[in-house]
Structure 1
Amino acid sequence: MLEKWVYPALGDLKLPDITPANISALLLSMQAKGKAHATVVKCYTILNSLFKMAFLSDTIPKNPMHKVERPKPRKDESRHDEVEAYTVDEVRHILACLDKEPLKWRVLVRLLIDTGIRRGECCGLQWKNVDFQGNSVTISGNLCYTPQKGVYLDTPKNGRSRTVDVDPDIMSLLRALRSEQAAQAISSYVFTQDGSPEPMHPQSPTRYMKKFSQRYNVPDLHPHKLRHTFASIAITSGADVASVSEKLGHSDKAVTLRMYTHADQESIKRASQIFRDALKQDTKKAGQG
């Protein structure tokens, strides 16, 4: 957060010279560039902590954050209280349609659905990260693109690697993809450009899914919606938030909690039944004692 946003905007200023207007301009610029509300709030929170420490240690005579309003969601964000995700039946439809698609895309889309990893993490996946024996992949890179730098491999968003388990059926597809790829062009990357060892462009999955969406009447299909779908279905089906957060690679479990713990009627009923079953079990044990 400091390297990407705070230093470029405020790094040339001395601490006592930074004004509320400077800080507000930074937060507004983040919103203007489309950064998520949670990201802007995180930047606000970091700045608030830093300036509070500076004020308490008498490094600055007054705290400019006292006059900076906490960022509010953009209008387009405030209209969506819940993240967009597919239902179980919609995911089954997507999987059925995938059977008609080329192997590379079958593997990529199923991997996104099964693991909830980010688009860039999937495109940055290398064969050395695939554990065929353990049915898992290690997420240690994030393939990015900017007009200035082109395509480049970065670290995952939270800065650390993680290992996630993968459905054995998808691992079988990965084996088939490795054989298919080897016949065309040897590459260290799992997902490559057609007939080339170069990694797939990180924006290619989004373009592909847009066409897939039109072909099979799947509304608004894009990689991040599949990530939301994994988390939403997992949590409403009983998975604990901490485990889902770890698999998603969230650095803060509160993000997972805030985004995905909206309850539907089925999960509400299930929670009630779990509670009743627990009481019955305790009653039985007491009777036996």
Structure 2
Amino acid sequence: MAKRTNSAIFEYQNKNGQTLYGFYIYLGTDKLTKKKINTKRRGFKSYNEANAVFNKMKVDGIQSKVNDEITIEELFKLWFESYKISVKESTANKTQQVFDHHIKPTLGKYYINEITTPIIQQLVDRKAKEIVKFKIIYNYLNRMYTFAVTMDLATGNPVTNVILPKKSTRLHRDTEHNFYNKQELIEFLETAKSINQRVYVYFLLLASTGLRRSEALALTWKDIDFTTKTIDINKTLTSGFNNKLIVGSPKSTKSKRTVPISDNLLTELRKYKLANAEFDKLFHTYKDTYVSLSKPAQWLRQVYDKNKSLRHITTHRFRHTFASLLFESNPNIKPTDVQKILGHETVEMTLNIYTHVTSDSEARVTNAINLLNF
């Protein structure tokens, strides 16, 4: 038996008890990823076979590294470089968060050639039980592998044959009751007013216009036209990398819109402006910079801490409250009119989310049925 002089080669047994050989080897620095490449090979039937491949790879250096030996985390970084310049920074930031929270912990350290369809299927199935928007994980992995195939980093896409669950099994939020009727809203706003003017005006604004949280936070006084009684929605406040606040364009083309102001809201805005005449922004810090996106949630907690009898709803559901009260006050109002005010991309979004039956409208239907004579 020839003397075994290569200490990099190791011996191991597979699941069947068969003795096999492998080795670890340093190949140099990858010009693509700028990383030092330490890799390993396994599955050789003899020491001599492993040693021969080791010596060849030592001579070839970095050129002997097969492309699909980059990890999922490395693949994401490569794909993300081109992806992030094609979308808004806030969108790219959300994509980074999805990868860090839902893909990296499970698959990040795997080499891309080790990932199989069953592995991804298990991840998708598990996420379908944990989060509502689980399909985004499938979509990002599919885009990453499509990129890998295009760049000759992988020979195939294991995501293609994954069977997507029809829907998440995670319990959804109770959107049917997660809004206020008129009396509940009045009590909420009275409590908000007792805290301070800013908290009151912010929630009055949401409930009277249906603005999104981030649209309201981005407003400046230049956006308010007291003569025409309208608000120009032309920007939104978003979160970029490292939680940096960004003033960006509205969510979609339909989100850029003009919203009417009620007489009551107009009166309160005038009072609020007088108290904040030196500031450019409606909701500001003492330096006239924008407040954080988490501020409305803090204000909401203040209201609920002040009035324990109030039913809790989310900040976003003041849009729901606005639309529901609008439909309720005028049953003949067109969904397309509400769609325009809310800035929904399609009227289906308005109908699907905002046409829940309230107790008052149900009573009206009951009364109408009782008047029928057949």
TM-score of the aligned structures, taking structure 1 as reference length: 0.69
Distance of 2:123 and 2:216 partners within structure 1: 31
Aligned-partner SS, 1:133: coil
Deviation for aligned residue 1:197: 1.1
Q: Secondary structure at the match of 2:276?
A: helix
Measured after TM superposition, the shift of residue 212 of structure 1 is 1.1
Tell me the secondary structure at the aligned position of residue 195 of structure 2.
coil
Distance 1:202 1:141 in 2: 14
Q: Contact 1:209/1:221 (CA < 8 Å) preserved in 2?
A: no
Deviation at 1:31, TM superposition (A): 6.6
Per-residue CA shift, 1:118-175, capped at 9, x if unaligned?
A: 1100000111111101111011111122452511112222244111111122222222
Paired residues of 1:83 and 1:260 also in contact (CA < 8 A):
no
In the alignment, the residues of structure 2 paired with residue 232 and residue 108 of structure 1 have an alpha-carbon distance, to the nearest angstrom, of: 19
In structure 2, relative to structure 1, the CA distance for the partners of 1:131 and 1:145 (3 Å cut) is same
- Aligned to 1:91, which of 185, 188, 208? 185
1:158 is aligned, of 249, 252, 263, to 252
Check if 1:192 corresponds to 2:287.
Answer: no
Q: Which runs of 5+ in 2 are unaligned?
A: 1-82, 100-115, 143-158
> In 1, are the aligned partners of 2:117 and 2:162 still within 8 Å (CA)?
yes
Q: Which position in structure 1 is the counterpart of 2:239?
A: 145
**Shift in CA distance, 205/264, structure 1 to aligned 2, threshold 3 Å:** closer
Point out 4+ residue stretches in structure 1 off by more than 4 angstroms.
1-5, 19-34, 64-67, 271-277
- Rounded Cα–Cα distance in structure 1 between residues aligned with 2:241 and 2:130: 15
Deviation at 1:94, TM superposition (A): 1.2
Flag the 1:265–1:105 CA change in 2: closer, same or farther, 3 A. closer
The letter of the residue matching 1:199 is Y
**1:109: how far off?**
1.1
- C-alpha distance in 2, partners of 1:21/1:133? 62
CA contact (8 A) 1:236 1:263 kept: no
Paired residue secondary structure (1:99) = helix
Larger proportion of helix: 1
CA 26–67 in structure 1, closer or farther in 2 if over 3 Å, else same: closer
Structure with the larger strand share? 2
Stretches of structure 1 lacking an aligned partner (at least 5 in a row): 10-18, 48-63, 280-289
Q: Find the aligned partners of 1:88 and 1:102 in 2 and give their Cα distance.
A: 21
Which of 163, 167, 171 is the equivalent residue of 1:76? 171
User: Is 2:294 aligned against 1:203?
Assistant: yes
For 1:178, give the aligned amino acid. Answer: K
Q: Distance in 2 between matches of 1:26 and 1:253?
A: 34
C-alpha distance in 1 between matches for 2:247 and 2:130: 22
In structure 2, the residue matched to 1:285 is: none
**Which of the two has higher C-alpha Rg?**
2
TM-score (norm 2): 0.55
